[in-house]
Amino acid sequence: MQSYTTKEELLELYNKPLLELVFEAATVHRLHHNPLEVQMSSLLSIKTGGCPEDCGYCPQAARYHTDVDAQKMMTVESVLEQARNAKANGSSRLCMGAAWREIRDNKDFDSVVEMVQGVNDLNMEVCCTLGMMNENQAKRLKNAGLFAYNHNLDTSKDYYDDVISTREYEDRLNTIDNARKAGISVCSGGIIGMGEAIEDRVGLLMSYMEMENPPESIPINALVAVEGTPLSEQKPIEQWEMIRMVATTRIAFPKSVVRLSAGRTQMNMEAQAMCFMAGASSIFAGDKLLTTPNPDFNEDKEMFKILGLTAKASFADGEQPVSKPDAIIDARKEKEAKRAAELKAAREKLEVEGKTDFQPRKVVSSSN
Ligand code: SF4
Protein backbone atom coordinates (compact mmCIF):
# COMPACT_ATOMS: atom_id res chain seq x y z
CA MET A 1 0.00 0.00 0.00
CA GLN A 2 1.43 3.38 -1.02
CA SER A 3 2.16 5.81 1.79
CA TYR A 4 1.72 9.56 1.44
CA THR A 5 4.03 11.72 3.48
CA THR A 6 4.69 14.93 1.54
CA LYS A 7 2.36 17.83 0.84
CA GLU A 8 2.57 17.17 -2.90
CA GLU A 9 1.66 13.51 -2.45
CA LEU A 10 -1.28 14.40 -0.21
CA LEU A 11 -2.52 17.01 -2.68
CA GLU A 12 -2.39 14.48 -5.48
CA LEU A 13 -4.28 12.04 -3.29
CA TYR A 14 -6.96 14.59 -2.36
CA ASN A 15 -7.53 15.39 -6.04
CA LYS A 16 -7.76 11.79 -7.25
CA PRO A 17 -10.95 10.76 -9.09
CA LEU A 18 -13.43 10.57 -6.20
CA LEU A 19 -14.36 6.91 -6.55
CA GLU A 20 -10.70 5.90 -6.75
CA LEU A 21 -10.01 7.91 -3.61
CA VAL A 22 -12.92 6.37 -1.72
CA PHE A 23 -11.95 2.86 -2.83
CA GLU A 24 -8.38 3.35 -1.64
CA ALA A 25 -9.58 4.82 1.66
CA ALA A 26 -12.05 1.96 2.17
CA THR A 27 -9.25 -0.55 1.56
CA VAL A 28 -6.99 1.13 4.15
CA HIS A 29 -9.90 1.38 6.57
CA ARG A 30 -10.62 -2.35 6.38
CA LEU A 31 -7.00 -3.19 7.13
CA HIS A 32 -7.03 -1.33 10.45
CA HIS A 33 -10.65 -0.98 11.61
CA ASN A 34 -13.95 -2.86 11.62
CA PRO A 35 -15.84 -1.04 8.82
CA LEU A 36 -19.22 -1.88 10.32
CA GLU A 37 -18.51 -0.25 13.68
CA VAL A 38 -18.99 3.46 14.23
CA GLN A 39 -18.50 5.08 17.61
CA MET A 40 -21.27 7.30 18.88
CA SER A 41 -19.86 10.15 20.93
CA SER A 42 -21.70 12.97 22.65
CA LEU A 43 -20.46 16.51 22.97
CA LEU A 44 -21.63 18.54 25.92
CA SER A 45 -21.04 22.23 26.52
CA ILE A 46 -20.32 22.44 30.25
CA LYS A 47 -19.55 26.17 30.13
CA THR A 48 -21.17 28.00 27.26
CA GLY A 49 -20.32 31.38 25.73
CA GLY A 50 -18.46 34.45 26.91
CA CYS A 51 -15.11 33.28 25.50
CA PRO A 52 -12.44 36.00 25.14
CA GLU A 53 -10.94 34.43 21.98
CA ASP A 54 -11.78 35.48 18.42
CA CYS A 55 -12.08 32.20 16.46
CA GLY A 56 -13.89 33.40 13.34
CA TYR A 57 -16.25 30.41 13.18
CA CYS A 58 -17.34 30.37 16.80
CA PRO A 59 -20.64 31.71 18.14
CA GLN A 60 -19.31 31.42 21.70
CA ALA A 61 -16.79 34.24 21.29
CA ALA A 62 -17.99 37.11 23.50
CA ARG A 63 -17.05 39.74 20.89
CA TYR A 64 -19.53 38.45 18.26
CA HIS A 65 -23.23 39.20 18.40
CA THR A 66 -24.80 35.77 18.14
CA ASP A 67 -27.75 33.99 19.77
CA VAL A 68 -25.42 32.33 22.28
CA ASP A 69 -25.58 33.88 25.75
CA ALA A 70 -22.86 33.31 28.30
CA GLN A 71 -23.96 30.77 30.88
CA LYS A 72 -22.63 29.54 34.18
CA MET A 73 -20.66 26.33 34.48
CA MET A 74 -22.86 23.22 34.71
CA THR A 75 -22.88 21.39 38.01
CA VAL A 76 -21.13 18.05 38.36
CA GLU A 77 -24.45 16.29 39.00
CA SER A 78 -26.17 17.73 35.91
CA VAL A 79 -23.20 16.69 33.74
CA LEU A 80 -23.38 13.16 35.13
CA GLU A 81 -27.11 13.05 34.43
CA GLN A 82 -26.46 14.05 30.79
CA ALA A 83 -23.68 11.47 30.58
CA ARG A 84 -26.02 8.70 31.82
CA ASN A 85 -28.59 9.81 29.24
CA ALA A 86 -26.02 9.81 26.42
CA LYS A 87 -24.86 6.35 27.48
CA ALA A 88 -28.44 5.04 27.54
CA ASN A 89 -28.79 6.32 23.96
CA GLY A 90 -25.71 4.41 22.80
CA SER A 91 -22.87 6.90 23.26
CA SER A 92 -19.63 5.37 24.47
CA ARG A 93 -17.68 8.62 24.71
CA LEU A 94 -18.49 11.98 26.24
CA CYS A 95 -16.61 15.08 25.21
CA MET A 96 -17.01 18.02 27.59
CA GLY A 97 -16.31 21.47 26.20
CA ALA A 98 -15.80 24.75 28.02
CA ALA A 99 -15.59 28.11 26.21
CA TRP A 100 -12.30 29.07 27.83
CA ARG A 101 -9.11 30.53 26.41
CA GLU A 102 -7.17 28.30 28.77
CA ILE A 103 -7.65 26.26 31.90
CA ARG A 104 -7.22 28.19 35.14
CA ASP A 105 -6.47 26.50 38.42
CA ASN A 106 -9.68 27.42 40.16
CA LYS A 107 -12.88 25.88 41.52
CA ASP A 108 -14.36 25.49 38.02
CA PHE A 109 -11.41 23.35 37.02
CA ASP A 110 -11.84 21.32 40.23
CA SER A 111 -15.42 20.69 39.07
CA VAL A 112 -14.16 19.48 35.68
CA VAL A 113 -11.82 17.08 37.47
CA GLU A 114 -14.80 15.70 39.41
CA MET A 115 -16.80 15.42 36.17
CA VAL A 116 -13.99 13.43 34.57
CA GLN A 117 -13.85 11.09 37.57
CA GLY A 118 -17.63 10.65 37.50
CA VAL A 119 -17.97 10.02 33.76
CA ASN A 120 -15.03 7.60 33.71
CA ASP A 121 -16.73 5.73 36.55
CA LEU A 122 -19.72 5.28 34.20
CA ASN A 123 -17.32 3.35 31.93
CA MET A 124 -17.50 5.96 29.18
CA GLU A 125 -14.46 7.37 27.42
CA VAL A 126 -14.02 10.92 28.67
CA CYS A 127 -12.64 13.63 26.43
CA CYS A 128 -12.31 17.31 27.35
CA THR A 129 -11.85 20.42 25.27
CA LEU A 130 -11.01 23.27 27.61
CA GLY A 131 -8.59 25.46 25.68
CA MET A 132 -4.90 25.75 26.40
CA MET A 133 -3.55 23.45 29.10
CA ASN A 134 -0.23 23.29 30.92
CA GLU A 135 1.63 20.15 31.97
CA ASN A 136 0.33 20.09 35.56
CA GLN A 137 -3.26 20.51 34.49
CA ALA A 138 -2.80 17.68 32.00
CA LYS A 139 -1.41 15.48 34.76
CA ARG A 140 -4.39 16.27 37.01
CA LEU A 141 -6.85 15.37 34.27
CA LYS A 142 -5.00 12.17 33.47
CA ASN A 143 -5.02 11.26 37.16
CA ALA A 144 -8.79 11.83 37.25
CA GLY A 145 -9.29 9.32 34.42
CA LEU A 146 -9.30 11.49 31.30
CA PHE A 147 -9.07 9.34 28.16
CA ALA A 148 -8.53 12.04 25.52
CA TYR A 149 -7.94 15.76 25.18
CA ASN A 150 -9.35 17.62 22.18
CA HIS A 151 -7.46 20.60 20.83
CA ASN A 152 -8.04 21.26 17.13
CA LEU A 153 -5.44 22.91 14.92
CA ASP A 154 -8.46 23.95 12.83
CA THR A 155 -6.56 24.62 9.59
CA SER A 156 -3.08 24.94 8.10
CA LYS A 157 -0.39 27.04 9.77
CA ASP A 158 -0.56 29.38 6.74
CA TYR A 159 -4.31 30.03 6.95
CA TYR A 160 -4.57 30.05 10.75
CA ASP A 161 -4.08 33.83 11.12
CA ASP A 162 -7.02 34.46 8.78
CA VAL A 163 -9.29 32.70 11.27
CA ILE A 164 -7.85 33.36 14.74
CA SER A 165 -5.64 36.18 16.00
CA THR A 166 -5.78 35.82 19.79
CA ARG A 167 -3.37 32.90 20.02
CA GLU A 168 -0.68 31.27 17.93
CA TYR A 169 -0.51 27.97 16.09
CA GLU A 170 2.47 27.23 18.31
CA ASP A 171 0.25 27.58 21.43
CA ARG A 172 -2.02 24.87 20.04
CA LEU A 173 0.93 22.58 19.38
CA ASN A 174 2.21 23.12 22.94
CA THR A 175 -1.10 22.07 24.48
CA ILE A 176 -1.18 18.96 22.32
CA ASP A 177 2.34 18.24 23.50
CA ASN A 178 1.33 18.66 27.15
CA ALA A 179 -1.51 16.16 26.68
CA ARG A 180 0.94 13.71 25.10
CA LYS A 181 3.48 14.11 27.93
CA ALA A 182 0.78 13.28 30.48
CA GLY A 183 -0.10 10.09 28.59
CA ILE A 184 -3.48 11.38 27.39
CA SER A 185 -4.70 10.31 23.98
CA VAL A 186 -4.88 13.22 21.53
CA CYS A 187 -7.94 14.29 19.56
CA SER A 188 -7.17 17.05 17.07
CA GLY A 189 -8.58 17.95 13.70
CA GLY A 190 -9.96 20.78 11.65
CA ILE A 191 -12.77 22.59 9.94
CA ILE A 192 -13.24 22.86 6.19
CA GLY A 193 -15.36 25.43 4.41
CA MET A 194 -13.82 28.50 6.09
CA GLY A 195 -12.62 29.95 2.78
CA GLU A 196 -9.33 28.02 2.84
CA ALA A 197 -7.64 26.53 -0.22
CA ILE A 198 -7.27 22.78 -0.72
CA GLU A 199 -3.57 23.33 0.05
CA ASP A 200 -4.63 24.45 3.54
CA ARG A 201 -6.66 21.29 4.13
CA VAL A 202 -3.64 19.26 3.15
CA GLY A 203 -1.45 21.65 5.17
CA LEU A 204 -3.47 20.78 8.27
CA LEU A 205 -2.79 17.10 7.65
CA MET A 206 0.91 17.89 7.13
CA SER A 207 1.01 19.45 10.63
CA TYR A 208 -0.10 16.10 12.04
CA MET A 209 2.27 14.26 9.72
CA GLU A 210 5.18 16.22 11.22
CA MET A 211 4.34 15.09 14.77
CA GLU A 212 6.28 12.23 16.29
CA ASN A 213 2.94 10.59 17.06
CA PRO A 214 -0.08 11.77 15.08
CA PRO A 215 -3.39 12.18 16.96
CA GLU A 216 -5.24 8.99 17.81
CA SER A 217 -8.43 10.78 16.83
CA ILE A 218 -8.91 13.31 14.00
CA PRO A 219 -12.28 15.09 13.83
CA ILE A 220 -13.20 16.54 10.44
CA ASN A 221 -15.78 19.32 10.69
CA ALA A 222 -17.65 21.23 8.02
CA LEU A 223 -18.15 24.86 8.96
CA VAL A 224 -21.58 25.62 10.37
CA ALA A 225 -21.81 29.29 9.42
CA VAL A 226 -23.48 31.09 12.31
CA GLU A 227 -25.01 34.53 11.99
CA GLY A 228 -23.02 37.16 13.82
CA THR A 229 -19.64 35.46 13.33
CA PRO A 230 -17.09 36.72 10.77
CA LEU A 231 -17.56 33.52 8.73
CA SER A 232 -21.36 33.77 8.62
CA GLU A 233 -21.38 34.47 4.86
CA GLN A 234 -19.42 31.37 3.89
CA LYS A 235 -21.39 29.07 1.59
CA PRO A 236 -21.81 25.48 2.79
CA ILE A 237 -19.14 23.26 1.28
CA GLU A 238 -20.06 20.55 -1.20
CA GLN A 239 -20.64 17.16 0.39
CA TRP A 240 -17.97 15.78 -1.99
CA GLU A 241 -15.38 17.96 -0.30
CA MET A 242 -16.21 16.43 3.06
CA ILE A 243 -15.93 12.93 1.58
CA ARG A 244 -12.56 13.81 0.00
CA MET A 245 -11.24 15.22 3.28
CA VAL A 246 -12.36 12.17 5.28
CA ALA A 247 -10.87 9.78 2.71
CA THR A 248 -7.55 11.65 2.50
CA THR A 249 -7.28 11.76 6.29
CA ARG A 250 -8.05 8.06 6.55
CA ILE A 251 -5.34 7.13 4.05
CA ALA A 252 -2.77 9.50 5.56
CA PHE A 253 -3.37 8.25 9.13
CA PRO A 254 -4.45 4.61 8.79
CA LYS A 255 -4.61 3.89 12.53
CA SER A 256 -6.31 7.07 13.77
CA VAL A 257 -10.04 7.30 14.33
CA VAL A 258 -11.46 9.76 11.79
CA ARG A 259 -14.49 11.52 13.22
CA LEU A 260 -17.26 12.87 11.05
CA SER A 261 -18.10 15.85 13.25
CA ALA A 262 -19.88 19.20 12.82
CA GLY A 263 -21.85 19.88 9.68
CA ARG A 264 -23.75 16.59 9.41
CA THR A 265 -27.08 18.43 9.31
CA GLN A 266 -25.95 19.79 5.92
CA MET A 267 -25.28 16.26 4.63
CA ASN A 268 -27.79 13.70 3.43
CA MET A 269 -27.59 10.08 4.53
CA GLU A 270 -26.01 9.02 1.23
CA ALA A 271 -23.11 11.43 1.71
CA GLN A 272 -22.64 10.29 5.30
CA ALA A 273 -22.64 6.67 4.05
CA MET A 274 -19.84 7.59 1.62
CA CYS A 275 -17.89 9.07 4.54
CA PHE A 276 -18.26 5.83 6.51
CA MET A 277 -17.16 3.94 3.41
CA ALA A 278 -14.18 6.29 3.14
CA GLY A 279 -13.08 5.62 6.70
CA ALA A 280 -15.03 7.77 9.14
CA SER A 281 -15.66 5.61 12.19
CA SER A 282 -17.20 8.00 14.66
CA ILE A 283 -20.00 10.54 14.78
CA PHE A 284 -21.22 12.95 17.41
CA ALA A 285 -24.75 12.03 18.41
CA GLY A 286 -27.36 14.16 20.16
CA ASP A 287 -29.23 17.21 18.95
CA LYS A 288 -26.51 19.74 19.85
CA LEU A 289 -22.81 20.02 19.05
CA LEU A 290 -21.82 22.47 21.80
CA THR A 291 -24.14 25.20 20.49
CA THR A 292 -24.81 24.26 16.84
CA PRO A 293 -27.51 21.85 15.61
CA ASN A 294 -26.84 18.12 15.03
CA PRO A 295 -29.06 15.16 14.02
CA ASP A 296 -30.84 13.72 17.07
CA PHE A 297 -30.24 10.22 18.50
CA ASN A 298 -33.28 8.69 16.77
CA GLU A 299 -32.25 9.89 13.30
CA ASP A 300 -28.82 8.36 13.81
CA LYS A 301 -30.24 5.09 15.12
CA GLU A 302 -32.36 4.91 11.95
CA MET A 303 -29.30 5.63 9.81
CA PHE A 304 -27.28 2.90 11.58
CA LYS A 305 -30.13 0.44 10.94
CA ILE A 306 -30.34 1.28 7.24
CA LEU A 307 -26.57 1.14 6.73
CA GLY A 308 -26.09 -1.98 8.89
CA LEU A 309 -23.73 -0.22 11.29
CA THR A 310 -23.27 -1.02 14.96
CA ALA A 311 -22.20 1.32 17.74
CA LYS A 312 -18.63 0.78 18.88
CA ALA A 313 -18.08 -0.05 22.55
CA SER A 314 -16.04 2.22 24.78
CA PHE A 315 -12.31 1.56 25.22
CA ALA A 316 -12.05 -0.49 22.01
CA ASP A 317 -9.02 1.62 21.05
CA GLY A 318 -7.23 1.89 24.37
CA GLU A 319 -7.39 0.82 27.99
CA GLN A 320 -9.75 2.56 30.40
CA PRO A 321 -7.80 4.94 32.65
CA VAL A 322 -8.14 4.46 36.40
CA SER A 323 -9.69 7.45 38.22
CA LYS A 324 -7.47 8.28 41.17
CA PRO A 325 -8.27 10.65 44.04
CA ASP A 326 -7.39 14.29 43.48
CA ALA A 327 -5.28 15.81 46.26
CA ILE A 328 -6.57 19.39 45.72
CA ILE A 329 -10.24 18.36 45.80
CA ASP A 330 -9.70 16.08 48.78
CA ALA A 331 -7.96 18.89 50.72
CA ARG A 332 -10.81 21.31 49.88
CA LYS A 333 -13.46 18.82 50.95
CA GLU A 334 -11.62 18.16 54.18
CA LYS A 335 -11.46 21.91 54.86
CA GLU A 336 -15.18 22.29 54.08
CA ALA A 337 -16.07 19.37 56.36
CA LYS A 338 -13.97 20.86 59.16
CA ARG A 339 -15.66 24.26 58.75
CA ALA A 340 -19.12 22.62 58.73
CA ALA A 341 -18.27 20.73 61.94
CA GLU A 342 -17.04 23.94 63.60
CA LEU A 343 -20.23 25.76 62.61
CA LYS A 344 -22.37 22.94 63.93
CA ALA A 345 -20.51 22.96 67.24
CA ALA A 346 -20.81 26.77 67.50
CA ARG A 347 -24.53 26.63 66.75
CA GLU A 348 -25.10 23.91 69.36
CA LYS A 349 -23.17 25.92 71.93
CA LEU A 350 -25.29 29.02 71.25
CA GLU A 351 -28.48 27.00 71.43
CA VAL A 352 -27.43 25.72 74.83
CA GLU A 353 -26.88 29.34 75.85
CA GLY A 354 -30.32 30.28 74.51
CA LYS A 355 -29.02 32.45 71.61
CA THR A 356 -31.00 31.10 68.60
CA ASP A 357 -30.61 33.99 66.07
CA PHE A 358 -27.06 32.95 65.15
CA GLN A 359 -26.04 33.57 61.45
CA PRO A 360 -22.85 32.03 60.07
CA ARG A 361 -20.25 34.39 58.62
CA LYS A 362 -20.39 34.54 54.81
CA VAL A 363 -17.50 32.79 53.05
CA VAL A 364 -16.30 34.53 49.89
CA SER A 365 -15.48 32.09 47.06
CA SER A 366 -11.85 32.06 45.95
CA SER A 367 -12.78 31.09 42.39
CA ASN A 368 -11.32 33.41 39.72
S1 SF4 B 1 -13.57 27.94 19.53
FE2 SF4 B 1 -13.17 27.78 21.71
S3 SF4 B 1 -11.49 29.20 22.07
FE4 SF4 B 1 -12.37 29.77 20.08
S5 SF4 B 1 -13.90 31.37 20.58
FE6 SF4 B 1 -14.96 29.40 20.55
S7 SF4 B 1 -14.96 28.72 22.68
FE8 SF4 B 1 -13.40 30.31 22.48
| Ligand 1 close to Cβ of residue 68 (< 6 A) | no
Active site residue 55: yes
347 falls within a domain: no
Please give the average per-residue pLDDT across 299-327, as a whole number: 91
User: What pLDDT is stored for residue 366 in this prediction?
Assistant: 45
**Burial group, residue 329, by CB count within 10 angstroms (0-12, 13-18, 19+):** middle
b vs e for 121-131, b when ≥16 Cβ sit within 10 Å of the residue's Cβ? eeebbbbbbbb
Is the confidence at residue 104, as pLDDT, over 70?
Answer: yes
User: What pLDDT is stored for residue 260 in this prediction?
Assistant: 92
Q: Residue 166 C-alpha to ligand 1 middle, in angstroms?
A: 10
Please give the average per-residue pLDDT across 93-104, as a whole number: 95
Q: Which of 82-86, 203-207, 343-347 has the highest mean pLDDT?
A: 203-207
348 falls within a domain: no
Overall domain count for the chain: 1
- Give 227-278 pLDDT, tens digit per residue: 999 999 999 999 999 999 999 999 999 999 999 988 888 889 999 999 999 9
Please give the average per-residue pLDDT across 280-289, as a whole number: 78
| Ligand 1 close to Cβ of residue 58 (< 6 A) | yes
Where residue 71 sits, what CATH number does that domain have?
Answer: 3.20.20.70
189 falls within a domain: yes
| pTM summary value | 0.89
1 falls within a domain: no
Distance, in Å, from the CA atom of 245 to the CA atom of 284, rounded to the nearest integer, reads 17
| Terminal CA-CA length for the chain | 53
Active site residue 51: yes
Percentage of the chain exceeding pLDDT 70:
93
19 falls within a domain: yes
2 falls within a domain: no
242 falls within a domain: yes
Domain of 94, in residue numbers: 7-311
Contact 32, 255 (CB under 8 A): yes
344 falls within a domain: no
Distance, in Å, from the CA atom of 315 to the CA atom of 363, rounded to the nearest integer, reads 42
Contact 202, 253 (CB under 8 A): no
> What number does the ligand 1 atom closest to the CA of 129 have?
2
